[in-house]
């Protein structure tokens, strides 16, 4: 019975549930904050009539870590680990996006080889991100097999990260100006191995789900959104493309030499869970295509830009060379002069346009750093997408939107 209005447990300013019911027999259901089907810490207080959702109130902020405040006290190179923890399914994209923002501010030019190396790493991250999302959609429809199977391949991507930077999840990959070291022979061997096994495994996964009658019946029409509503809500990335608009930062505002590569942007029609799934599937294939091109045509040259004021010198030089020691000291102590100015830079993250709005007053830390976190902006549309749907569709919608709590809550 609907007694929640009088219930003081819900006496919280941010939660206002409506009193409208269909037949006066509605229940209130807490989906989250910690619930195995939400894949992250989100609370949704649903009003349900049987299985049908009448309204939803969201609470976010459970893992807010004050990144923007933290960034105002850290030197620029120490902000990279913060970006790891935004969308932690595709940390390298966040790291590299941040490096490029700072490079834009200081006016650094990076060699072509760095661009291509970055493209390889970022596209690997995109594959890892989409693999998680799509295999979890499988899990939420009851198909665990694909998830466990694909995670073997994701493990290979993580080993590739490890080969580049030593870390796996929160990668902190690269530096302002490039990478800390060149791709090792072992990296190339592992990438070759990945290319040998991954497409086969991925196609198997695809054949398990994409045209599977049960999967299609479950996902088609679940959590749809029209392209107009999606635009109004600030959707970007695969979720927007599933609704039918081909906006992609890699094409619209190419960065890191994306204009050199031949790839296409998949778009959906209905904006429902099935289309979101299919768009991500195709994006994985396109990412593979990009990696292949970048890897085959990897230009000769340096793996770092020539910006000694910002790029840590090799340790043996620090011990034997005065300039190197000075640069080392200044970088570590955050004493490098930074130009004053403001820049906005965006990259196509796992979830769409990931932006960095940076204001520098010339101090050791940013005066203000604001992240455009795609999740935070598009997750507002969630109630609208699930009202009138069933609870099981709501779970699917949440996982197919790829809402990552770290990015949502900053």
Q: Which two tokens stand for residue 105?
A: 């501010």
Using CB under 8 A as the binding rule, the residues of this chain from 246 to 285 that contact another protein are 247, 251-253
H or E stretch at 150: helix 144-165
Of residues 127 through 186, those in contact with another protein by CB under 8 A are: none
60 binds another protein (CB under 8 A): yes
**Count of other CB atoms within 10 angstroms of residue 259:** 9
Residue 221, both tokens: 């029409």
User: Measuring CA to CA, which residue among 352, 383, 202 is closest to residue 289?
Assistant: 202
The alpha-helical segments, DSSP class H, found in 249-321 are 249-252, 273-296, 315-320
| One of 34, 297, 342, 388 touching another protein (CB under 8 A) | 342
Residue from 32, 40, 355, 406 touching another protein (CB under 8 A): that is: 355
Exposed/middle/buried for residue 236 (C-beta within 10 Å: 0-12, 13-18, 19+): buried
**Binding to another protein by residue 387, rule CB under 8 A?**
no
Q: Can you tell me which of 5, 73, 188, 315 binds another protein, judged by CB under 8 A? A: 73
Note whether 35 binds another protein by CB under 8 A.
no
Query: Considering only CA atoms, which of 123, 372, 377, 130 is closest in space to residue 258?
Result: 123
Residue 372 binds another protein (CB under 8 A): yes
Of 379, 381, 383, whose CA–CA distance to 55 is shortest? 383
**Minimum CB distance to another protein smaller for 138 or for 271:** 271
Q: Do 371 and 68 meet the contact criterion of CB atoms below 8 Å apart?
A: yes
* Binding window for another protein (CB under 8 A); candidates: 155-163, 196-204, 268-276, 369-377: 369-377
Give the rounded distance of the alpha carbon of 130 from its chain centre: 9
CB of 245 to another protein, least distance (A): 8
Smallest gap, in angstroms, from Cβ of residue 328 to another protein? 15
From residue 226 to residue 245, what is the string marking binding to another protein with x (rule CB under 8 A)? ---x-xxxx-----------
30, 152, 197, 380: residue in contact with another protein (rule CB under 8 A): 380
* 3-state SS, residue 163: helix
**Binding positions for another protein, rule: CB under 8 A:** 12-14, 16, 60-61, 64, 66, 68-70, 72-73, 104-105, 229, 231-234, 247, 251-253, 333-335, 341-344, 346, 353, 355, 357, 359, 364, 367-368, 370, 372, 376-381, 409-410
């Amino acid at each position: 019975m609907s007694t929640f209005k009088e219930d003081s447990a819900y006496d919280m300013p941010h939660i206002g549930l409506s009193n409208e019911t269909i037949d006066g027999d509605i229940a209130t259901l807490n989906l989250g904050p910690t619930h195995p089907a939400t894949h992250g810490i989100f609370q949704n207080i649903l009003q349900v009539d049987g299985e049908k959702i009448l309204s939803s109130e969201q609470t976010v902020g459970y893992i807010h870590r004050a990144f923007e405040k933290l960034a105002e006290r850290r030197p620029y190179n120490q902000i990279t680990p913060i970006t790891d923890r935004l969308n932690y399914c595709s940390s390298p994209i966040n790291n590299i996006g941040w490096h490029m923002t700072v490079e834009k501010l200081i006016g650094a030019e990076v060699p072509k080889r760095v661009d291509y190396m970055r493209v390889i790493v970022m596209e690997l991250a995109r594959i890892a991100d989409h693999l998680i999302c799509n295999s979890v959609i499988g899990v939420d429809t009851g198909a665990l097999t694909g998830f466990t199977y694909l995670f073997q391949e994701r493990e290979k991507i993580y080993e590739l990260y490890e080969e580049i930077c030593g870390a796996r999840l929160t990668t902190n990959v690269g530096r302002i100006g490039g990478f800390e070291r060149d791709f090792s022979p072992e990296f190339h061997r592992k990438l070759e191995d990945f290319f040998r096994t991954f497409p086969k495994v991925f196609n198997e996964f695809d054949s398990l789900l994409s045209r599977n009658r049960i999967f299609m019946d479950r996902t088609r029409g679940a959590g749809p959104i029209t392209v107009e509503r999606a635009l109004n809500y600030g959707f970007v990335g695969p979720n927007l493309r599933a609704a039918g608009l081909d906006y992609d930062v890699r094409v619209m505002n190419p960065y890191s030499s994306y204009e050199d590569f031949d790839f296409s942007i998949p778009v959906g029609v209905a904006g429902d869970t099935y289309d979101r799934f299919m768009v991500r599937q195709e994006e994985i294939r396109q990412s593979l295509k990009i990696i292949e091109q970048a890897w085959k045509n990897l230009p000769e040259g340096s793996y770092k830009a020539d910006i000694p004021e910002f790029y840590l010198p090799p340790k043996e030089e620090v011990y034997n060379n005065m300039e190197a020691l000075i640069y080392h000291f200044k970088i570590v102590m955050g004493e490098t002069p930074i130009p004053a100015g403001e820049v906005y830079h965006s990259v196509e993250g796992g979830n769409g346009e990931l932006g960095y709005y940076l204001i520098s007053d010339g101090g050791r830390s940013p005066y203000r750093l604001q992240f455009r976190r795609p999740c935070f902006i598009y997750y507002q549309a969630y109630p609208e997408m699930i009202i009138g749907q069933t609870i099981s569709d709501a779970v699917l919608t949440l996982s197919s939107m790829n809402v990552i709590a770290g990015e949502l809550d900053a």
